[in-house]
Chain A
Amino acid sequence: MTREQMEIDCVVVGAGPSGLAAAIRLKQLKPDLSVCVLEKGSEVGAHILSGAVFEPRSLNELIPDWQAKGAPLNTAAKDDHFYYLTRSKAYPLPTPPPMHNHGNYIISLGNLCRWLAGQAEALGVEIFTGFAAAEVLYGEDGHVKGVATGDMGIGKDGKPTETYTPGVELLARQTIIAEGCRGSLTRTLFERFDLRADCDPQTYGIGFKELWEIDPAKHQPGKILHTIGWPLTADTYGGSFCYHLENHQLIVGFVVGLDYANPFLSPFEEFQRYKTHPLIRPLLEGARRLSYGARAISAGGAQSVPKLTFPGGVLVGDTAGFLNVPKLKGSHTAMKSGMLAAEAVAEALDSGAVEAASYPARLKQSWLWRELYAVRNIKPSFKWGLWPALAYAALDSFVLRGRAPWTLHHTPDHTRLKPAAASKPIAYPKPDGKLTFDRLSSVFVSNTNHEENQPAHLKLKDAAVPIAINLKLYDAPEQRYCPAGVYEIVEGPALRINAQNCIHCKTCDIKDPTQNIVWTVPEGGGGPNYPNM
């Protein structure tokens, strides 16, 4: 069966904050353009996971009357608290200026995306959920001419089943790639157009989040708590967040830098034991966990932003890497990048240019770039360890004010693991089923599902590497960094890949020491079904 083709002006890959902001801006500028958004989640918001304390700056610019239009920004940020934790104590620290949240909101980014999708549709944007963009399409002269959605109804054996439905080719004059951190198509574009030639390697973190319903007596809407220190050691980058949302809901989350060195480290279990700290435990006692999820985030900042345009398309949002690390925020920057790209795309569509070349210049002139450039040295300074980094961050923020004449550089996360023989095993406590949980009961509350009869979407370049290198040298770290229990060493020994559990966080694609694991999109609609995450 041949694939059907649809001709449109612009296709956006991914209905997250950057993709939707781009689609909305494009339609605001050029109402007559045909704009389609593809989303691999079963609905908009299904794969969205974020803290989230949201800075409304971009939203103010995009939809100034968002309040009247009912945007779900319901909980104004109130007090900021910042602590350094030891195993049993919490020492208050001064809140660094980028972490002041006056004027911001504690939100569910998933719900904001659902609302943005409604705004986009009202402008005539077509949003197709449950369709994964699986392939970039190239014209004869090598420019990107759109994307193809994945075939549906392919069996485990790779052969069509009775429900086989071929993918569709969306032929677009411009393609906006808004896949989020470590996009699978972005990765192929990096190679094809050598987009990372003049930037630092990207560096990442894995963020965990749980949503709890807590005792109303303990709930203080708008309260914001961040911690550093325990349970992480000073050589590992990371920290926690804890936000009081509306309706007696409490968000607890944890981020671990994927540049960690000890292969025995389990980010998931660090998060679980963080909840047992005396600062957090009382909040969660007697409470009910509603949801769980995890997602990788780009933490490289300004120096890791790749070339953003290529013939036929642009990169926006976290797949390019616009997260402001010291601010702990990436949604407003993602949206802004989408809006700037849309302006450049509109211009290119007008002039008939194949590349939206004005996007980088628009970016460099915007507050977004000034914001990112000023904080560019904070995250890389953490390679010196927690205390030197905090001292440097203070120097950088208060004395140099981001105007240091130097730029610190990154190394790729997957090269940072030390061999197991040179590392110390970590004994994590067993989950109690009330406050702390195992991976499988956690995946259960992420509402994750994949059609069972389909080829595994996690591919190994070389089937021998997981045992010959990963297990032998690093004690199979994929068992520990995967937040969903996808990777299991079973008798043999052999690596079993439970692809059905995958919550699309992309950590394996990032951290695998030999870069042997390749994350590709499964059949559309698969993956987590996050509620208001």
Chain B
Amino acid sequence: MKILVAVKRVIDYNVRVRVRADGSGVETANVKFSMNPFDEIALEEAVRLKESGAATEVIAVSIGPVQAQETLRSALAMGADRAILIQTDEAVEPLAVAKLLAAVARRESVELAILGKQAIDDDANQTGQMLAALLDWPQGTFASKLSIENGHAIVTREIDGGLETIRLALPALITTDLRLNTPRYASLPNIMKAKKKPLEVLTQAELGVDITPRLVTLKVEEPPKRKAGVKVADAAQLFDKLKHEAKVI
């Protein structure tokens, strides 16, 4: 069984994201980028499936500028067998990403696709679901546990009020939640070895996918600053403020 894992290059989670002075988007110059943390979890799960013998090959796929090769090298260092970059400098929307990934999934005849449940830059939480629909595959989203048994994926999902376990016939799509696993560190020797693993670069044209944006960003602005709190003397004053100032009761 071949597994496709999508990995996105995003602004690092430690970086305080800043809106550009002209409101056209967020500042990306001189900013540290790294792999979307949910995708690291997806990759870790795929590598574990391969290590357990349930999978034969893990293919990491990224869509983005030439620098996304670094993200793919990290994926290879963590244990992916090979990588594919669909190189574009355009902004790609979730539907375009899903179409590109569907094309790769068909080309590579993968039986399982594991994606992060969302990327921490746009928080869209759409690509996985769209990909499942395009491929007409069953989907197990927000997985907190995954196992492969007799041609099926058994997925535990965290839902309101408890856990739901579902069984999907392969081929299937999984999106990962935070608690699925703790990704490993890429060790120094593995980073060395990753430099020699295959990394293929494709274009959307080669995959026959139109990625023209369908959405227009009007403006990006920072949320209003939170005002400093005040201390109230007693419950009566609190009631008064809630009723007359905040007007919430």
Contacts and interface: CB of A to CB of B under 8 A. Distances in A.
Given A168-B187, A529-B14, A163 B32 contact: no
A158 B18 CA distance: 37
A42 B32 CA distance: 9
A152 B185 contact: yes
A43 B30 CA distance: 11
A101 B18 CA distance: 32
Given A42-B32, A108-B30, A111-B30, A529 B189 contact: no
Contacts of B184: 163, 165
A448 interface: yes
A360 B15 CA distance: 41
Interface string B11-38: 0101110100100000001111010000
Nearest to A528: B14
B15 A529 contact: yes
Given A126-B192, A213-B21, A448-B14, A165 B187 contact: yes
A213 B30 CA distance: 14
Interface in A124-181: 126, 128, 131, 149, 152-153, 162-163, 165, 168
B222 to A, nearest CB: 10
B150 interface: no
A263 B192 CA distance: 48
A6 B189 contact: yes
Contacts of B168: none
A162 B15 contact: no
B182 A162 contact: yes
A373 interface: no
B169 interface: no
- Of the four ranges (under 10, 10 to 19, 20 to 34, 35 or more), the interface on chain B belongs to 20 to 34
A6 B191 CA distance: 13
Q: Which of B18, B32, B34, B189 has the most CB of A within 10 A?
A: B32
B121 to A, nearest CB: 15
B205 interface: no
A74 interface: no
A451 to B, nearest CB: 10
B235 interface: no
A152 B29 CA distance: 30
B196 to A, nearest CB: 12
A444 B188 contact: no
Contact of B14 (A6, A131, A168, A447): A447
A104 interface: no
Contacts of B21: 213, 248, 288
Nearest to A110: B30
B92 to A, nearest CB: 24
Interface in A440-456: 444-445, 447-449
Contacts of A163: 182-185
A9 B182 CA distance: 35
A290 B187 contact: no
Contacts of B34: 42
A290 B14 CA distance: 14
Main secondary structure on B side of the interface with A: loop
- Of the four ranges (under 10, 10 to 19, 20 to 34, 35 or more), the interface on chain A belongs to 20 to 34
Nearest to B44: A163
A532 B31 CA distance: 8
A149 B186 CA distance: 13
A46 interface: yes
A272 to B, nearest CB: 19
Nearest to A166: B187
Contacts of B185: 152-153, 163, 165
A128 B191 contact: yes
A301 interface: no
Nearest to A162: B182
A531 interface: yes
Given A4-B189, A131-B188, A447 B32 contact: yes
Contacts of B191: 128
A449 B34 CA distance: 14
B16 A43 contact: no
Given A163-B182, A165-B184, A532-B30, A42 B12 contact: yes
Interface string B133-177: 000000000000000000000000000000000000000000000
Contacts of B14: 42, 447-449, 529
Contacts of A43: 32
Given A46-B32, A165-B184, A447 B189 contact: no
B234 to A, nearest CB: 27
Contact of A531 (B31, B187, B188): B31
Contacts of B189: 4, 6, 168
A43 B15 CA distance: 13
B112 to A, nearest CB: 23
A290 B18 contact: yes
Interface in A6-32: 6
A248 B32 CA distance: 21
Interface of B: 12, 14-16, 18, 21, 29-32, 34, 182-185, 187-189, 191-192
24 contacts: A6-B189, A42-B14, A42-B32, A46-B32, A108-B30, A110-B30, A111-B30, A126-B192, A128-B188, A131-B188, A163-B183, A165-B184, A165-B185, A213-B21, A290-B18, A445-B16, A447-B14, A447-B16, A449-B14, A529-B14, A529-B15, A529-B32, A531-B15, A531-B30
Interface of A: 4, 6, 42-43, 46, 108, 110-111, 126, 128, 131, 149, 152-153, 162-163, 165, 168, 213, 248, 288, 290, 444-445, 447-449, 529, 531-532
Given A128-B188, A290-B18, A529-B32, 5 more contacts: A6-B189, A165-B187, A168-B187, A213-B21, A531-B32
